[in-house]
Amino acid sequence: MIFFKGVLYLGNLIDSTTYILQGGLFTIELYIATIIFSIPLGIIGALIKVSSLKILSKAVDIYTWLFRGTPLLLQLFFTYFGLPIIGIKFSPFTAAALTFSLNYGAYFTEIFRSGIQSIDKGQYEAAKVLGMNYRQTMSKIILPQAFKRIIPPTCNEGITLIKDTALVAAIGLQDILRAAREIVTRDFTITPFFIAAILYLIFTSLIVLAFRKLEKKYSVYE
Amino acid sequence: MMFLKDGVTMDLLNICNINKSYDNNQVLNNVSLNLKKGEVISIIGPSGSGKSTLLRCISGLEHMDSGLIEFSGITIAEANRKFNNVEVINACKKIGMVFQNFNLFPHKTVLENIIGAPIIVNNINKKDAIDIAKNLLIKVDLLDKIDSYPCTLSGGQKQRIAIARCLAMNPELILFDEPTSALDPKLVSEVLKVIRALADDKISLLVVTHEMQFAREISDKIIFMENGEILENSTPELLFSNPKHARIKQFLNLT
């Protein structure tokens, strides 16, 4: 009898885990899509901010002010429920990927900008007296050094993003958290929450590990 | 050597009445100065007298409020004008500068620091650039550090690398902005030795320094600056033995 119960429990556990893992697949898809779009967005935003393009720079200011100053969930609702009212309709995944990319792009803009601006002005001067123009100075001297400095804050954002993906449950997307909660309400058991937590921990650990590798690679110079 | 028709050596650098102020603080007050090819000029004077600002105006790191700077007969800087033509850009590439705090590129090795600009600015191929770099490293006696990162070097070594990096661009004039002021006293002489060798090679130098003995030995002319003005411009012998201004006497006694 006990043995039978045990098998049943194990079977249940495997079923739940598989179900939640399917949600995990979605979480990863959204994660990758967001990274692919938000990082280039952040690079462009940061380069505009440190440039002398006044009007564009002002526009980027407004962009980061808006997206960092309002809740991500509000932005998600706006894209998915709000925009259809004026005739712009997205699939749930597109809406999520778009909102997340714009939101994280704003954060990355500020992180990359601060990284670039943290480089000593003597580096610009040395490049200038060696005859390098602005583009050469940025690409060969400033950005490679800024890259090293933005690794830790970018890692933080990378971790936060994994957890923020849970917000998409609010627009009906089947991510890790929503899948877990469904089983909890159906079976009245607490285990799925543990499974979800473990999955999140695995993802975030992998990200931390990857960034640690990157940091190590760039630790050859001060 | 460049000669005009009448046989007078043409000025390599010609600074004409430059003025510069930050807010209400006049840092350069009607400064004029000539430097002939092969000449070594040292600029001395108390801190805040505008010596560094003068060098930074020449290298284009600062803009002037008024005045004019010519290099090899080409106007390279003028108040309220921006120069973007190839002629000026090429002329400016012939002016090297060495900073007080080295400004080496920390993410590049010694070799990469030296070959970077020749490759990307002068389009020299990598192999030739490496050959040039190795020769320069022999010259500054640091060939064994070729693959080191700057953070592993001492101040004196960093400055010698900075000089090698500057020389790799084959400059006709090198501006030294207090090249030994950030150094441990023990390390000063190794850097001065390298600069002295450049003077012996007849490379034109404009050196801002607090090393009086050194300035006296290597310079053809010494300029004393105070409060943004050139108080005296004469030979080392005259300036050190019999300065015109009481202020210079006082300064030389102090140091």
d(CA B176, CA B173): 10
**Homologous superfamily of domain range B35-57+90-254:** P-loop containing nucleotide triphosphate hydrolases (3.40.50.300)
> How many CB atoms lie under 10 A from the CB of residue A187?
13
Cβ-count burial B117-140 (b if 16+ within 10 Å, e if not)? bbbbbeebeeeebbebbeebbebb
**Cβ-Cβ contacts under 8 Å, B101 against chain A:** 122
What pLDDT was estimated at residue A91?
93
For B124, residues 6+ apart whose C-beta sits below 8 A from its C-beta are B118, B132
d(CA A111, CA A86): 33
Beta-carbon separation of B61 and A140 below 8 A? no
For B119, nearest residue in chain A (alpha carbons): A132
Mean of the pLDDT values across residues A40-58? Answer: 96
d(CA B172, CA B193): 19
| For testing contact with chain A, the best of B103, B109, B165 (most A CBs within 10 A) | B103
How does residue A222 score in pLDDT terms, banded at 50, 70 and 90?
Answer: confident
Chain A touched by B126 (CB under 8 Å): no
- Which strand ranges, in their side-by-side order, compose the sheet holding B204-208? B95-98, B173-177, B204-208, B40-44, B221-226, B229-234
Per-residue pLDDT reduced to its tens digit, A96-111:
999 999 999 999 999 9
Nearest to B121 among A122, A123, A130 (CB): A130
How does residue A13 score in pLDDT terms, banded at 50, 70 and 90?
Answer: confident
For A132, nearest residue in chain B (alpha carbons): B121
Compute chain A's Rg from CA coordinates: 22
Strands B229-234, B221-226: pairing kind = antiparallel
Chain A touched by B224 (CB under 8 Å): no
B 183-222 residues with CB below 8 A of A?
Answer: none
Beta-carbon separation of A132 and B93 below 8 A? no
The residue written with tokens 């950005």 in the block is A143
Beta-carbon separation of B60 and A128 below 8 A? yes
Per-residue pLDDT reduced to its tens digit, A67-89:
999 999 999 999 999 999 999 99
ipTM above 0.90, yes or no: yes
Contact A43/A60 with Cβ under 8 angstroms? no
Beta-carbon separation of A130 and B117 below 8 A? yes
> How many CB atoms lie under 10 A from the CB of residue A75?
21
Strands B66-71, B74-78: pairing kind = antiparallel
Question: H/E element holding B43?
Answer: strand B40-44
**Cβ-Cβ contacts under 8 Å, B93 against chain A:** 131
The strand pairing partners of B9, in sequence order, are B3
Per-residue pLDDT reduced to its tens digit, B202-249:
999 999 999 999 999 999 999 999 999 999 999 999 998 888 888 898
Mean of the pLDDT values across residues A180-188? Answer: 89
What pLDDT was estimated at residue A50?
95
In terms of C-beta density within 10 A (0-12 exposed, 13-18 middle, 19 or more buried), how is residue A62 classed? exposed
The residue written with tokens 């001492």 in the block is B154
Q: Compare A82 and B24 and report the one with higher pLDDT.
A: A82
How does residue A2 score in pLDDT terms, banded at 50, 70 and 90?
Answer: confident
Domain ranges, ordered by start, for chain B:
35-57+90-254
pLDDT(B6) > 80: no
Domain ranges, ordered by start, for chain A:
2-194
Chain B touched by A217 (CB under 8 Å): no
| For testing contact with chain B, the best of A125, A129, A141, A149 (most B CBs within 10 A) | A129
The length of chain B is 255
Cβ-count burial A88-123 (b if 16+ within 10 Å, e if not)? eebeeeebbbbbbbbbbbbbbbbbbbbbbeebeeeb
Chain A touched by B132 (CB under 8 Å): no
Give the least confident one: A128-142, A166-180, B41-55, B179-193: A166-180
Per-residue pLDDT reduced to its tens digit, B88-134:
999 999 999 999 999 999 999 999 999 999 999 999 999 999 999 99
pLDDT(A36) > 80: yes
Strands B66-71, B11-22: pairing kind = antiparallel
What pLDDT was estimated at residue B1?
45
For A125, nearest residue in chain B (alpha carbons): B61
DSSP A116-166: HHTS-HHHHHHHHHTT--HHHIIIIIIHHHHHHHHHHHHHHHHHHHHHHGG
What pLDDT was estimated at residue B180?
95
pLDDT(A9) > 80: no
Nearest to B103 among A126, A131, A140 (CB): A126
**Cβ-Cβ contacts under 8 Å, A151 against chain B:** none
Strands B66-71, B40-44: pairing kind = unpaired
Per-residue pLDDT reduced to its tens digit, B147-169:
999 999 999 999 999 999 999 99
Instruction: Name which CATH class applies to A2-194.
Output: mainly alpha
What pLDDT was estimated at residue A1?
65
Beta-carbon separation of B151 and A144 below 8 A? no
Cα of B237 to nearest chain A Cα, Å: 33
- % of chain A at pLDDT higher than 90: 76
How far is residue B118 from each of residues B93, B121, B132, B168, B175, measured CA to CA in Å? 10, 6, 10, 7, 18
> How many CB atoms lie under 10 A from the CB of residue B196?
16
Question: H/E element holding B28?
Answer: strand B25-36
The strand pairing partners of B14, in sequence order, are B34, B70
For A120, nearest residue in chain B (alpha carbons): B103
What's chain B's average pLDDT? 92
Contact B53/B62 with Cβ under 8 angstroms? yes
d(CA A68, CA A74): 12
What pLDDT was estimated at residue B41?
97
